[in-house]
Amino acid sequence: MTGPDGKQYAVGGEVKIDISPEAGPEATLRKAEVIQAAAADEPSSQDGSVSAQASQMAQQAQRELAEQPADETAPRLGAYGPPPPDDAGRILSLLA
């Protein structure tokens, strides 16, 4: 289609979307969220179908995360927090 500025614009088409799970549940969940956000931008019937598949993928990833033993997730959750209290003095002495 030619726009009012005389340039050619695409007004239709198709984009292939990879909706396969990733290597781990966290990556799969992130991917599903991106797919759902992209499909919600200007939804078509196909976008609705892709979004539903991504929703199922996200739910499966959440189930897998919930099934992981607590000791697998604990180190990751605390990895970005402040150092343990016994290390605080040592770190401050290093900065002095």
Q: Which residue has the higher pLDDT, 53 or 83?
A: 53
Q: Range with the lowest mean pLDDT among 56-60, 66-70, 83-87?
A: 83-87
Amino acid symbol at 70? A
Residue owning tokens 């927090």:
81
SS3 readout for 26-70: HHHHHHHHHHHHHHHHCCCHHHHHHHHHHHHHHHHHHHHHHHCCH
| Rounded Cα–Cα distance for residues 29 and 65 (Å) | 10
Cβ atoms of 21 and 28 closer than 8 Å: yes
Rounded average pLDDT over 68-74 = 63
Is the confidence at residue 75, as pLDDT, over 70? no
pTM over 0.85: no
